[in-house]
Amino acid sequence: MIDTMLGGVPGRTAAHVVAGRTPAIIDPGAETSAAHVIGELHRMGIGSADLAWIVLTHIHLDHCGAAGALADAFPDARIVVFDRAARHIAEPERLVTASHAVYGEHASMYGGLAPTDESRIVPAADRHEIDLGNGFRLEMLTTPGHARHHMSVLEHATGTLFAGDALGTHFGAGGLYPNTPPSDADPHAGRESIAKLAERAPVFASTAHFGPVADAAAALDLADRQLEALAEAALAGWVADGSEGIAREVMRRLPLAETVGDAAALAEWEYLRWYDDNIGGLSAWAERTTASDDS
């Protein structure tokens, strides 16, 4: 694992490196972290000609923003990304503009995304496999929920799940808390994705924010119950009082401070405005869901 040092701060976003004859990095981090991550890869003995795969769980800039810079620094590397999101890696302008609108005042902390030539992008469908050699094999699994275009990555030799944001966030000593940002988070889809991952019974699991969980099965179970609570809170809150109702119900059913349970982790949530983003994402979902129920 490499700490990408988002915003110069440790413990926010993690990149994962899987060894093998053709090594892979999963979620290289934000563009502003690229120089640091490239330096860490070199320090691990992965030279300019060695890195073969840049694997993206989804195209939020805190995960994928460094992909273009890494593709420049490692000219033989190919970028593996959900097929429906692949065009944004080749032509990132719209993605960057839309992302900066969500990040607001923090946009410069994340940076943008440099384009990569289409010939170096590998569009992945569900169950796409990447053979890293030396017995290591990655399988990409579509796991919508945090975002519609989210994939999780399973390494078969070790039984390791690289969950991206599918299980939520656990900064520092904090507990797990779902991360449901605008504009296409969907807690019901997230629960189906967790069931799909649980079927694979991973031995280890690691999250992008931040790193390994102690017990993969327990984390999957907890993440499912938390998404269930958020979905119920969002629907009840939306019907009663729109976004404000959601904020109230979420606080009642899954109180941030108590669930996170650690002052430093809570400060990270608040600094990054992820709690506010959660309410925004749940509001958009509740509005879509109740509208389609009416029709």
Cβ proximity to Zn ion: between 132 and 213 the closer is 213
Cβ proximity to Zn ion: between 63 and 128 the closer is 63
User: Rule CB under 5 A: is residue 165 a binding residue for Zn ion?
Assistant: yes
Q: Least CB distance from residue 165 to Zn ion, whole Å? A: 4
Chain-centre distance for alpha carbon 46? 24
Cα 26 from Cα 129, distance rounded (Å)? 14
Cα 295 from Cα 287, distance rounded (Å)? 13
Tell me the window of 35-43, 55-63, 84-92, 190-198 that interacts with Zn ion (CB under 5 A): 55-63
The residues facing 253 across adjacent strands are none
Q: Least CB distance from residue 47 to Zn ion, whole Å? A: 28
* Nearest residue to Zn ion, scored by beta-carbon proximity: 165
User: Phi and psi for 120 in degrees, rounded to 5?
Assistant: -105, 10
Spatial CA neighbour of 159 closest among 223, 221, 219, 216: 216
Tell me the window of 54-62, 121-129, 223-231, 276-284 that interacts with Zn ion (CB under 5 A): 54-62
Cβ proximity to Zn ion: between 53 and 171 the closer is 171
Q: With beta carbons less than 8 A apart as the criterion, state whether 79 and 121 touch.
A: yes
User: Rule CB under 5 A: is residue 184 a binding residue for Zn ion?
Assistant: no
Q: Other CB atoms closer than 10 Å to residue 272's CB: what's the count?
A: 22
Interface with Zn ion: number of residues (CB under 5 A): 2
List all residues 6 or more positions away from 215 whose beta carbon is below 8 Å from its beta carbon: none
Q: Least CB distance from residue 233 to Zn ion, whole Å? A: 21
Cβ proximity to Zn ion: between 62 and 184 the closer is 62
Q: Least CB distance from residue 261 to Zn ion, whole Å? A: 20
Cβ proximity to Zn ion: between 165 and 184 the closer is 165
Spatial CA neighbour of 277 closest among 237, 246, 233: 246
Tell me the window of 27-35, 87-95, 158-166, 283-291 that interacts with Zn ion (CB under 5 A): 158-166
Question: Taking CB under 5 A as the criterion, which residues in 60-89 touch Zn ion?
Answer: 62
Residue type, 294: D
Cis amide linkage into residue 210, ω under 30° from 0? yes
Q: Least CB distance from residue 92 to Zn ion, whole Å? A: 17
Cis amide linkage into residue 183, ω under 30° from 0? yes
Tell me the window of 23-31, 110-118, 160-168, 199-207 that interacts with Zn ion (CB under 5 A): 160-168
Q: Least CB distance from residue 103 to Zn ion, whole Å? A: 12
Cβ proximity to Zn ion: between 165 and 186 the closer is 165
Q: What angle do CA 128, 131, 137 make, to 5 degrees?
A: 80
Which residues contact Zn ion (rule: CB under 5 A)? 62, 165
